[in-house]
Amino acid sequence: MSAGVGSWATIFTTHLSSDSEGYGKMSDRMAALVAGYDGYLGMESVRGDDGVGITVCYWESREAIEAWRLDPEHQEAQREGLARWYDHITLRNARVERFSEYTRPVAGAEGAAQGVE
């Protein structure tokens, strides 16, 4: 994923309702659909046992985010999510202004760990 400084992020925080029928299938469909969008850089997503989930999608531009927001199939998924699957949703768009990364070296590997600022 190439989502460094200058990219954009949509941060989607949700709490699942007790009605999860069809949610997994729709989630998988949206992940496949968004992956084909121009300007899409990647996604990170987690969900806790308490039903709280955070998904961050990375984008090249605000225009790419807007195109995704207006996708008819995505809009249908949003309507279904609001009607059934989510008790609460928060959406934020943010510009990535700083990026750093660290990977722990494999035990016994030569060389020092490298961080990126």
Residue 9 sits at φ, ψ, to 5 deg, of -130, 135
Average pLDDT over residues 83-102: 94
pLDDT at 113: 53
Q: Model pTM?
A: 0.83
pLDDT at 4: 87
Helices first, then strands: H and E counts in the chain: 3, 6
Domains of the chain (ranges; CATH) run: 8-116 (3.30.70.100)
Q: Place 114 in a pLDDT band, splitting at 50, 70 and 90.
A: low
Query: What does the DSSP 8-state code read for residue 106?
Result: P
pLDDT at 108: 75
Q: What share of the chain is helix, strand, coil (3-state, %, to 5)?
A: 30, 35, 35
